[in-house]
Structure 1
Amino acid sequence: MSKNSTTNTAIRIPTEIYEKIEFQALAEDKTVSGIINNILRKYVSWDQFISDIGFVFLQKPFVRNIFEHLSDDDIVKAAKTSCYTGMRDAISFIHGKNDIESIVDVLKLWFSASNFTNKIILADDNIEFRIQHNLGHKGSLYIGTLISSLFGDLNMKSNKALLKEHSLIIGFKSNLKK
């Protein structure tokens, strides 16, 4: 079965939910089918796993406030220990393996679920993450450390790191070819 194949099916959707999806589709210049497919894709690739792997939803201002009360050393330690372990477990739980593609996929899911604007650039033998998170400089430190720890499992070290107040850019040399 090809990756782009589809199945036609009929499902019953409560009218008020359908109307909300239809309104969103019109507002975003998308089809109702496209919106529903995005919802289903997010569910099967992330939402059904988040409680099993220990993720919770918190408001960004709350997380930013907590980060500001922690030292840089405490943030790095947390990112390298319990947070890294949780994300590594998420990668194993979702993909059953730990490789570049699995790490990138789960990071994309996390960024999307967290509403972090991001761009992941795979070019030549480099992979670069550009993430807008609005969690302050310590948020950049946390996310950068966590990503570095995940790629460290593959013996990949960061070759580029730019941590800013509400965004970061971090890059790695990879063995992937575009």
Structure 2
Amino acid sequence: MTNDYKSEKTETVTARINKQTLDKLRSYAKSENTTLNSAINQLLSHAVDWDVVAAKTSWIPIPKDILISYFDKLDDATIIAVAEESGKHVPRDMLLAMRGKLDVKEWISILRSRAKASGFHYAEILEDDYVKFIMKHDMGMKWSIYFQTYYISSFNMLGCDAEFSITNNTVSYRISKKDYSPDDA
């Protein structure tokens, strides 16, 4: 699901952009098959929603291969224990630091931003009374187990029930529309 900037209130500003940066922005917009304006809005939105605050909340970039290697050396019981414990506390701290409140919609916003920053495919699909979220991480079953357990703990901490399904490289979950309305996001 992408933001529909046409329905949001906008303002026009004039900014000087380094030619090399502008060329990169144009190239990015072309590769994404979108307009320069839309690409700039998407990139700025991601920057203020994630990049600016992530480092301040202890997030650091680590190459995927290193994380996969570490997790491959852990047994499932250890992964589950760590994920359960961190899922009870880390989301609370992140939500308060990054969004200023404990809220399911804001938590999903963080998950969406984190998936994008990590280069994961992320999709939201509207079903009858539910919203289904799919994240393809390509990091193996141990990461799927970690994500599932971590997300279960985090949604429970927020008082939200979620149904999960995992594969070797994908985590999907669905929650009731009453807990999350993407129209309000």
TM-score by length of 1: 0.87
Contact 1:132-1:168 within 8 A present in 2 as well: yes
1:66 equivalent in alignment to 2:97: no
Mapping of 1:27-176 within 5 angstroms? 27-82=31-86, 84-159=88-163, 161-173=164-176, 175-176=178-179
1:65 and 1:98 map into 2 onto residues whose CA distance is: 33
8 Å CA contact retained: 1:132, 1:167: yes
Give the counterpart of 2:28 among 24, 47, 55: 24
How far did residue 49 of structure 1 move?
A: 0.7
Letter in 2 for 1:108: R
Cα distance in 2 for partners of 1:79, 1:17 equals 39
Q: Is the 8 A contact 2:86 2:150 kept in 1?
A: no
Tell me how far apart the structure 2 counterparts of residues 45 and 175 of structure 1 sit (CA, whole Å).
24
The SS at the match of 2:40 is: helix
Paired amino acid for 1:20: K
Distance in 2 (alpha carbons) for counterparts of 1:35 and 1:84 = 35
The percentage of counterpart residues that share the same residue type is: 24
Whole-angstrom CA distance in 2 between matches of 1:43 and 1:76 = 31
The TM-score, its normalising length taken from structure 2, stands at 0.84
For the residues of structure 2 that align with 1:3 and 1:84, how far apart are their CA atoms?
Answer: 36
Letter in 2 for 1:35: A
- Aligned partner of 1:162: which letter? S
**Helix, strand or coil: the match of 1:106?**
helix
Quick one: distance in 1 between partners of 2:32 and 2:162?
Answer: 37
Contact 1:124–1:177 (Cα < 8 Å) also in 2? no
Which stretches in structure 1 are left out of the alignment for 5+ residues? Answer: none
Q: Return the alpha-carbon distance in structure 2 between the equivalents of residues 100 and 154 of structure 1.
A: 6
CA contact (8 A) 2:138 2:169 kept: yes
- Taking only aligned residues, the RMSD between alpha carbons, in angstroms, comes to 2.2
Q: How many residues align?
A: 176
Letter in 1 for 2:111: L
